[in-house]
Structure 1
């Protein structure tokens, strides 16, 4: 696997150090105690959705699979660990041969989730599973947060296309991951070429204010752009006077002008004025694109405006106020001993501060009402009720260390559209509220 596919610099040899030190010190202690090889089950879930969110969106699964494949302790990584004396030689020797050989199950990418949903389940020895905690959470927490924001924005846009343009507002590698997550959540295109190169996302872009300011006259800038990119290009019309710019744009490009972009001012008012002006000038087919620190609420407020597309940056790549999904990775079951045939027992954290978890290896299913609309997220241990057998959500992603469920990004995008459409209508409301589906727990016999 080429590390460039992970959004990494090409000189980064592995994902093994995308972790917290205590993963390795736990491994060292477990090896010494003889418990490292106990079969274990870890699950990724969130105890609650961000305030006001009605559903979550699973995103980053494909990147997790790449990261697991590339989780290798090569000579450079081992040398670093030895130099810092983070682990001893016995642990270094174990790490040198590390290859994840267990199983991973999860909600398919693009699916929606709710509090308690076991969005990913990692099974294998304690040693090989615990090492993956940080990199899995890092990817899922970031990408799912962006995808959730994107999904809300796509709902607010009501079918009008959305352009992801947040690369300059976040870390350069996060920008690539954010563009991927936004595409899953419903965005149509990205301005980030690295995202287009790595993931095949359609890319767009024309010019900024600097291009207009470069020229002696706005007309000269427009003429240069049209001569180069054709009449179907998008001209930025708010560098100086919007009305004058629109008039000039149509004079230069003619009624075949593809679009104009508005990046400032009262977008609702300006969009109406620009639409009227374009129509009066005969450019009835020219579209209007708006940008300028949009979020889902601003997009919704423009629903009645003659806007054809939205460009979103800062609010998208920061999760529109919720930059993480607050997912956790918890041990929920483990073997009584290192014997491969030892029985599994459920385990769970029991504390007084709200950070409790439910023990046992879990399944999940979505119950539908009489009209085929989702009405509950059902999470359980033990046998799956017969009426939910064909509604199970987890699919196998990795089998005995081999990835078995890698899929095209468009498949995950289509899956999300279908999953969101299957939720009650209140799922798309932007007002504050509880998760649109309750999570119900069914307790059966736990274990493997």
Structure 2
């Protein structure tokens, strides 16, 4: 993604006041380890999907306090001059490890580990969480939709139902988790995601008749286009569509009513007219449950909007960013953890592995603080940043392929849409 604007102020006020106080106490330069994890999976989900890692790396690259940012902080009295001097020279020089995008996570999975001085690492908290909480939530919902859709393609169409930049991130996360394309052109430009779209009801209403609208669309976009057939009478629209485009008509789209019944009627009508290859696409407030309910209907693809970009009712992944180790006065790292009621954390720098059963399916998420690796475990943490240099970028299609393979290794019950427990247990050692 191409960005020129600084991301340094995409943060909370208290990150910088903590920094100021730590500079004053002399503790700012102590080495520290922070990790991102979820204490639970919201919404009774069986698994979560890692997404947004690549965006975190992009944002980190532009986390710089330039003259405009420093002037804002100075004029509003947010931090003192010594802190401003520190921020003027800020460059993250530590290391970041993380689960790869497209992989799965479970309660306690350390999906990102940030190592550096306290000063360097603490100011990244808000930015990292804002990216990962959004993208992981969208990808987790998208994965459930993709599982429900089976081999039928899904188009992401939620741009008009969320913030304009969130729409681009949502399209990216959905693509990782199995959607085949997006309606959002910026997502196509920035991330190379295939884009799709033809016409809305306004195009039909603009013309003097539905026939005139269809004729204009076919003349412009060809017989392989998708015609929206529910502006007026569906049966009449399908008749007109095939009459104008012939049996080579690409697809019809249904956007209202009882989608299962309408798809069955339209399929029978298309077949009677000889348009056996014309596909049926459905839209209209779909979520994973509606998609699953259409499994037996003669539907060839789905367009999903509102439910996708809002995480299908779970718009955040409930991820937190907690310090788990800090440097002592003697120069060694020691585990630290909060003990507050209901929000405990586990101290110590984590390593994570996924264990398989005899059939090659995921069986256990093993999180250790010993540093030793099990003989048959799949290592989950990979270096993303080394000494401040980004080393973990990868093509988006690699994340997409990884997700497909990861879902295939889940136990079957993990794909159930009802509320339940994590698909595999997390064990700490």
Q: What's the TM-score, normalizing by structure 2?
A: 0.99
Instruction: Quote the offset at 1:385 in angstroms.
Output: 4.1
Q: Distance in 2 between matches of 1:109 and 1:245?
A: 43
Per the alignment, in what secondary structure is the counterpart of residue 344 of structure 2? coil
Q: Distance in 1 between matches of 2:95 and 2:62?
A: 16
Q: Distance in 2 between matches of 1:22 and 1:262?
A: 49
In the TM superposition, what are the counterparts of 1:93-242 in structure 2 within 5 Å?
Answer: 93-242=85-234
Corresponding residue to 1:67 among 56, 59, 74: 59
Instruction: Quote the offset at 1:392 in angstroms.
Output: 1.2
Match of 2:34 in 1: 42
What runs of 5+ residues in structure 2 fail to find an aligned partner? Answer: none
Per the alignment, in what secondary structure is the counterpart of residue 16 of structure 1? coil
Q: Distance in 2 between matches of 1:299 and 1:255?
A: 27
Q: Please report the RMSD computed on the Cα atoms of aligned residues, expressed in angstroms.
A: 0.9
Match of 1:403 in 2: 390
Q: Distance in 2 between matches of 1:180 and 1:385?
A: 33
Within the alignment, does 1:85 sit opposite 2:77 as a pair? yes
Match of 1:317 in 2: 309
Query: Given that residues 350 and 371 in structure 2 are in contact (C-alpha distance below 8 angstroms), is that contact kept between their aligned partners in structure 1?
Result: no
Instruction: Quote the offset at 1:159 in angstroms.
Output: 1.1
Match of 2:368 in 1: 380
Q: Distance in 2 between matches of 1:97 and 1:25?
A: 17
| Deviation per residue, 1:313-357 (Å, 9 max, x gap) | 0000000000000100000000003x7xx11100000012x1000
Q: What's the TM-score, normalizing by structure 1?
A: 0.95
Q: Distance in 2 between matches of 1:25 and 1:78?
A: 14
Q: Distance in 1 between matches of 2:66 and 2:140?
A: 36
Q: Distance in 2 between matches of 1:192 and 1:218?
A: 26
| Deviation per residue, 1:131-159 (Å, 9 max, x gap) | 00000000000000000000000000011
Instruction: Quote the offset at 1:2 in angstroms.
Output: 3.5
Per the alignment, in what secondary structure is the counterpart of residue 179 of structure 2? coil
In the TM superposition, what are the counterparts of 1:319-398 in structure 2 within 5 Å?
Answer: 319-337=311-329, 342-352=331-341, 354-388=342-376, 390-398=377-385
Corresponding residue to 1:303 among 290, 295, 306: 295
Within the alignment, does 1:420 sit opposite 2:411 as a pair? no
| Deviation per residue, 1:59-114 (Å, 9 max, x gap) | 00000001111100000000000000000000000000000000000000110000
Instruction: Quote the offset at 1:387 in angstroms.
Output: 2.1
Per the alignment, in what secondary structure is the counterpart of residue 163 of structure 1? strand
Q: Distance in 2 between matches of 1:258 and 1:312?
A: 20
Per the alignment, in what secondary structure is the counterpart of residue 183 of structure 1? helix
Corresponding residue to 1:432 among 381, 406, 419: 419
Per the alignment, in what secondary structure is the counterpart of residue 247 of structure 2? coil
Match of 1:2 in 2: 2
Q: Distance in 2 between matches of 1:61 and 1:171?
A: 20
What runs of 5+ residues in structure 1 fail to find an aligned partner? Answer: 4-9, 443-448
Aligned length: 429
In the TM superposition, what are the counterparts of 1:238-317 in structure 2 within 5 Å?
Answer: 238-317=230-309
Instruction: Quote the offset at 1:384 in angstroms.
Output: 2.0
Per the alignment, in what secondary structure is the counterpart of residue 43 of structure 2? coil
Within the alignment, does 1:23 sit opposite 2:15 as a pair? yes
